[in-house]
Structure 1
Amino acid sequence: MDEVDWASMRHAYGSAETVPQLLQGLASPCPDERERALDGLYGAVHHQGDVYDSTLACIPFLFALIARPEVPDRGSIVELLVSIGGGDSEEPFAQEGRAGKHDDGNDNYAMARAAIRAGAAVFAELIDDRDPEVRRAAPRALVMFLEEPARVLGLLSVRMEAEPDGRVLQGLAEGLGLFARRHPAAAAPAIEGLVALATDPGAPGLRLAALGQLAGCAPERLPSGFVPLVIGLLGARAQEPREQDELERPATDTLIGQLRVLRPEDEEGSQLLRTLHTALGGRTADRIALLKGQLTSGARADRCNAVWMSAGLFRDWRGSYEEPIALIGEQLGADEKRLREAAASVLEDLFDLAAPAAEHLAAAVAARPESWLRRWEHGAPTLGSALAALARTGDARAVPPLAQVLEQPGVPNILGHIVGSLGPAAAPLAPLLQNRLGAVPLDAPDTYDHAAPLLHSLGALRYEAAVPEVLRLLHGMPGDVRSRPVIVEAAVQALGAFGTAAHEAIPVLRELLNSDRAATSAAALWSVEGDAEAVLPVLRRELTSDDSSSRRAAAEALGPLGSSAVAALPALHLMAEAADADGGNVWDRTAAACALWDIAGDPEPVLPVLRSAWHANPYTRGTIAECLVRMGRAAEPAHDLLRTELAMPQRHRVYSGGYGGGDILEDERLLRLCRTALDAG
């Protein structure tokens, strides 16, 4: 390692000069030091899956470590190598020759895969290692990186016959399924091996592992009565003595240590079920039946695993989930804290869909006031999951606890969105929110954390009595407050929500027309004063801004002006027709097209742009559907988009590859808008 110029290399946090100490730490006799070294490598050298020049330089030394039998925890090092090579996801191998999600124009990821493939022969030796944790990690590495399919299948099959450890056998079954997906032309023996395991009357955990792999690579070979069989095997597995999920580890303050505490009580069962649910994909009826079986199990760990498995189903697929959601609600009364918190966490992201669990949520909130607010060493407090979930269903029983939360120090950031979910039922909270806003410090580093949720809440309630407190922020906040621009934006939006009742804010809004928040200020000024002569020149200027967000904000602000904004039509036409290469983007075009309709009422230039954007970026569909609702009968040529969307089993944001807490909310909103637009036509 001394021959490598580590100081010239980089990782996520700067110079890689300390990487040798991390590599040496992996071989330490001290478990605590090994864990800290592994955590450091994941956190810096392989941060969030990234591959740096220092990551590439580590690969030979990681191979050297796993080749030495005396090194402890080599299974974890194998897993790190697999992750660096992209083998913790099958995507890079399904898209050979295409840039990966992190590539960003460099070839570090391809180089890492090539380097690990070049050394993959060592994984063939590890398949028979004396350490079961190494043998458990080896099958995935072997299948993903050794480019000799016949040899790989032979090694897996021979090891399957000789392996005494149940958890390693499950890893081998996973290897067979992975082999079948990677090498479909040579998959037949692997599939037959999985069929034999799935029908063998032996260990239920191994049968579940085989069934999960079959569901992913050969669903036509699944036995009849698949779901009842799985539920029965889960019950049988619950009756068996539980194998220790992993070796005893030190309680460290590393991310790895924290994740270990958060892992399911039965992590092996969780992995088996995750594989099954992932493989079943859009077979929502089977997955719902499986969840119902798990959620009514007498085994607490099975119910906890089912709760976590449900989150992926609800997030990715549309369906009728009343029964499983009600069953998840029942878990809120469990004696086990881990199970209660899992249920509350999943329900929190469901918004209106959590309504079947509302009674259980209300009971849980009433029974545990200490859970209403969570405080952290750093940052703003957060709202407890059960209370947040109850409020997000729109249930008025959440209002009294929220009022008590507002009497405590600190304001949860989520509060503004929570108030929006409650609608008019949240009106009793408005004076409390106003008082809290009046007490926000004007020059503190965390002013934004205090002010933003209050401003969003008061705007959502349209509580015009709070205008003086909002103006206090705008007039009194020093110019050097780092978060001033975003606080100004939130304050201006609140004033716009108050409408004509905020007339005393007109002077400050006019002053802000020449700021970097010009479009937002113009939109608010129009709402408050309705003076097109004051705002139209500003918005026309912003349409030609170099900043895309300013252009989009201007277009969105022009729509409400209606026919008063006719002078902006030429610029909006250009913006709607601009190609990406000419500085336009799909969001700009969408905003401009919607404004064109609102101002001119002519569908001809609007519908082609909306249709193109609908296909180009699923995130635009909510905005487009809103516009189609406003268009009424004129939107009929686009009704095929709406009908196709309503018939799709998958939620629209799944295609974009990311996940945010509002994905379910936005998808359900999109479905409502699609139905409304069709009814209007």
Structure 2
Amino acid sequence: MFRGIDEVDWASLRHAYGSAEDVPGLLRGLASADPAERETALDGMYGAVHHQGDVYDSTLACVPFLLALAVREEVRDRAGVVELLVSIGDIDGASGALAARAREAVRAGAEVFVRLAGDADAGVRRAAAGAVVRFLDRPERVLALVRERIGVERDDRVLIALAEGLGAFTQRYRPAGDPHAAEAVRLLAELSGPPYGPGLRLAALGQLAACAPERLPADLVPAVVRLLRERSGQRTRSAPAPDCPGGDTLAGRLRRLRPSDEEGSQLLRTLHSALGSRVADRVALLCGQLTSPDALDRCNAVWMAAGLFREWRTDQAEPVTLIGTQLGAEEDRLHDAAVAVLVELHELAAPAADSLHALVTYRPELRIRHRERGGPTLGGPLKALARTGDTRAVPVLGEVLAGPVVPHDLGRVIPHLGRAAAPLAPALRRRLARVPLDGPDTQQRAVPLLSALTALGDVESLPAVLRLLRGMPEELPGRDAVTEAAVRALGAFGSAAGEAIPDLRRLLETDCAVAAADALWSVTGDVDAVLPALLGALTDPGSGPHRRAAAADVLGRLGPAARPGLPGLRRMTGSGDARERATAACAVWRTAGEPEQVLPVLRSAWTEHPRTRTTIAECVAALGPAGAPLHDLLRAELASPRRHLADSGGSGIHADLGLVRVCREALAGEGAGRRQSVALAGEGCRLDASRWHRPRRGHRQTPPGDTGRERAPTNAAR
């Protein structure tokens, strides 16, 4: 197995963490009789030699030894070795000269995988099924081998891997018109029907959906739901997997994180992914999964629903309601999955609000989550209920505020409740007044409370805000974050925060200058007092893109009064940072009223950098009828079924819903002759089309290009 291993100059080779002189020990560890040593060695291979899918010269040097290990029957866990080889030589893997050489090295050993396709170890056969398709070059031989193995194989997991191999084969050869691909499709269609078992049939349907959707049955969704329930009925409940013998290794942690029914999860994930934009079918399939008698099927469906909602704007009421019904499940895994997904959905979780309210009402122990580190936080059910905007969360939050332990993030959910949360203001105010000025957790405790009071516009909290602003020690960790949050609160209070004017003027000379200028303008309406700080932020070499963009945003809202900033703003429209570029272009438009200069910048940013779309849409909304040159982009956004701000953490859903609302707000001012109905969820805001800009509280503002016309009336409450 290791002939010649000591002749390799491993010290001169590299892996992710430097010299590869430890690689021979890892290779030998893969052949160890000790399970813990094998696990640690495999962890080391993935962690260093094949780190995050990369290949190094040491990776290339390992391939012959890994191939030798794979064929030695006395080596345990050879399936893991074959999977590592497949990953190293994956045809869809990394690019570059070393990656190409690694692929060729694995391809040169393809006969090993042919041999392993009939190995006595089912795990090895399963891993080899995909390797044969990827690395054996002659399509007629590959197809013959897969067909042969299907005829003799009895292990369901290996049969599923063979079906997946047929799908990969079809996707590889069908685009080139290879006739063998048609035979592979025929085999998949055959495997998708009786007399084959439900798992194999589900796998075949998933592969057909990806490579030959025209061969799918007309009753796809009912058929899949029937197969899923048949499979669940056949599946015996296995005992929980034992702890990984290798201890806290990467491979062991990944194994423990896998779903209880990993195979079922993968089968349905493959099908959902292949169905792609067939969203109606996917929603119907989810509803079928969520009503399954089997808790594992429902748990898989909950996580798949999250993936669908992150990507697509669709009618989610029925599946979300069904997710809400899982909150009463006895299985902790299912209950926890439902809570996690509903928290992520924000206002989209509204159809489950009744279930969430019942849970926080009858299980008060779930209102607060106690953690070993970081202090207490809101429990998931209460956080999800508040994020929907459901007013029933308000009295529950009031009870939490009255208790001995207040979650540090409670203040972050208040903005979702709007003015309905006003009864919480006195308690929030008292809590803020008791935050220590010099504690290690001052930032963690103060910022959420300040955010909540800012959202409520609670002028009565002014003394507590000023106490923080004036009393924190200079050296306090997180002081700048607390200062900025306090300044934003003062800006929200508007002219009622007149007592804070000296404090805000003082902050114009600090790193919080932009936020202070924004707040000072809101309190006083004195443009001359804030322009120097904003212009300084634009030109200061030490200002980063975030600070410059923030300054540009405030200048844009100042309107024509910000004309001294136009040279700097125009330079920023050529910035390499997309957000800075878009914000500056919007500011130029709002300040100079010259859209032709910035429209190309905004259009390119909108297309190339979707995260700038909300900034641009807010600009168009603020401009009213003058924003018409970009209305086509907003209409196209509202017509799109796909979210452009999706991510895996839920913030993308919330950001996308905000983008949709802003687009609707902007288009609401097009005029009665061009009104348009947009069938999307969310509450739109009426935009006063007589205004060119949205004035800040307590000051006035002139439309672009106006030199002597009557000024727009003061907006008393934004």
Q: TM-score, normalised by structure 1?
A: 0.88
- Please state how far the C-alpha of 1:63 moved relative to its aligned partner: 3.9
Distance in 1 between the 2:37 and 2:552 partners? 56
Distance in 1 between the 2:242 and 2:64 partners? 29
Give the structure 2 partner of residue 662 of structure 1: 651
Q: Secondary structure at the match of 2:548?
A: helix
1:615 paired with 2:607, answer yes
- Please state how far the C-alpha of 1:518 moved relative to its aligned partner: 2.5
CA distance 1:497–1:282, change in 2 (3 Å):
same
Give the structure 1 partner of residue 259 of structure 2: 264
Letter in 2 for 1:77: V
Distance in 2 between the 1:505 and 1:114 partners? 70
Contact 1:238 1:299 in 2 (8 A): yes
- Please state how far the C-alpha of 1:431 moved relative to its aligned partner: 3.6
- Please state how far the C-alpha of 1:482 moved relative to its aligned partner: 4.7
Give the structure 2 partner of residue 204 of structure 1: 198
Contact 1:46 1:52 in 2 (8 A): yes
Q: Secondary structure at the match of 2:597?
A: coil
Q: Secondary structure at the match of 2:668?
A: helix
- Between the aligned residues of both structures, percent identity stands at 56
- Please state how far the C-alpha of 1:531 moved relative to its aligned partner: 2.3
Which of 556, 559, 565 is equivalent to 1:568? 565
1:306-455 to 2 correspondences below 5 Å: 306-406=301-401, 407-409=403-405, 411-413=407-409, 415-443=410-438, 446-455=441-450
1:294 paired with 2:284, answer no
Contact 1:419 1:426 in 2 (8 A): yes
Q: Secondary structure at the match of 2:33?
A: coil
Give deviations 1:339-387, integer Å, cap 9, x for gaps.
Answer: 1111111111111111111101111222322222333333344432222
Give deviations 1:153-172, integer Å, cap 9, x for gaps.
Answer: 33322222221101110011
Give the structure 1 partner of residue 628 of structure 2: 636
CA distance 1:468–1:114, change in 2 (3 Å):
farther
Which of 17, 25, 29 is equivalent to 2:33? 29
Which of 207, 210, 213 is equivalent to 2:207? 213
Give deviations 1:385-409, integer Å, cap 9, x for gaps.
Answer: 2222111100122233334444455
Q: Secondary structure at the match of 2:114?
A: helix
Give the structure 1 partner of residue 244 of structure 2: 250
Q: Secondary structure at the match of 2:236?
A: coil
Letter in 2 for 1:364: L
CA distance 1:142–1:573, change in 2 (3 Å):
same
Give the structure 2 partner of residue 231 of structure 1: 225
Distance in 1 between the 2:19 and 2:416 partners? 46
Give the structure 1 partner of residue 513 of structure 2: 518
Which of 143, 147, 151 is equivalent to 1:157? 147
Give the structure 2 partner of residue 97 of structure 1: none
CA distance 1:299–1:632, change in 2 (3 Å):
same
Give the structure 2 partner of residue 166 of structure 1: 156
- Please state how far the C-alpha of 1:219 moved relative to its aligned partner: 0.2
- Please state how far the C-alpha of 1:230 moved relative to its aligned partner: 0.9
Distance in 2 between the 1:60 and 1:519 partners? 60
Distance in 1 between the 2:46 and 2:429 partners? 45
Distance in 2 between the 1:443 and 1:119 partners? 65
Distance in 2 between the 1:303 and 1:540 partners? 56
Distance in 2 between the 1:348 and 1:635 partners? 35
Q: Secondary structure at the match of 2:217?
A: coil
Give the structure 1 partner of residue 703 of structure 2: none
Give deviations 1:306-333, integer Å, cap 9, x for gaps.
Answer: 1121111111112111111111111112
CA distance 1:355–1:539, change in 2 (3 Å):
same
Give the structure 1 partner of residue 499 of structure 2: 504
1:505-654 to 2 correspondences below 5 Å: 505-546=500-541, 547-576=544-573, 578=574, 583-654=575-646
- Please state how far the C-alpha of 1:182 moved relative to its aligned partner: 2.0
Contact 2:83 2:127 in 1 (8 A): yes
Distance in 2 between the 1:219 and 1:78 partners? 31
Distance in 1 between the 2:609 and 2:568 partners? 23
Letter in 2 for 1:589: R
Give the structure 1 partner of residue 669 of structure 2: 680
1:69 paired with 2:73, answer yes
Letter in 2 for 1:585: D
CA distance 1:78–1:461, change in 2 (3 Å):
farther
Distance in 1 between the 2:430 and 2:55 partners? 49
Contact 1:416 1:455 in 2 (8 A): yes
Letter in 2 for 1:644: A
Give the structure 1 partner of residue 704 of structure 2: none
Contact 2:437 2:471 in 1 (8 A): yes
Distance in 1 between the 2:42 and 2:376 partners? 31
Point out the structure with max Rg over C-alpha. Answer: 2
Give deviations 1:134-175, integer Å, cap 9, x for gaps.
Answer: 222222333334444333333322222221101110011111
Contact 1:295 1:302 in 2 (8 A): yes
Contact 2:310 2:650 in 1 (8 A): no
Q: TM-score, normalised by structure 2?
A: 0.83
Give the structure 1 partner of residue 675 of structure 2: none
Give deviations 1:259-282, integer Å, cap 9, x for gaps.
Answer: 544433322211111111111011
Distance in 2 between the 1:543 and 1:247 partners? 58
Contact 1:245 1:266 in 2 (8 A): no
Which of 452, 459, 468 is equivalent to 1:457? 452
Letter in 2 for 1:631: L
Distance in 2 between the 1:115 and 1:497 partners? 64
Distance in 2 between the 1:608 and 1:199 partners? 54
CA distance 1:357–1:243, change in 2 (3 Å):
closer
Q: Secondary structure at the match of 2:315?
A: coil
- Please state how far the C-alpha of 1:621 moved relative to its aligned partner: 1.2
- Please state how far the C-alpha of 1:76 moved relative to its aligned partner: 2.6
CA distance 1:378–1:130, change in 2 (3 Å):
farther
Question: For the aligned residues, what is the CA RMSD?
Answer: 3.0
Letter in 1 for 2:157: R
* Residue ranges of structure 1 left out of the alignment (5+ in a row): 93-99
1:122 paired with 2:83, answer no
Distance in 1 between the 2:58 and 2:470 partners? 50
Contact 1:11 1:53 in 2 (8 A): no
Contact 1:170 1:206 in 2 (8 A): yes
CA distance 1:116–1:324, change in 2 (3 Å):
same
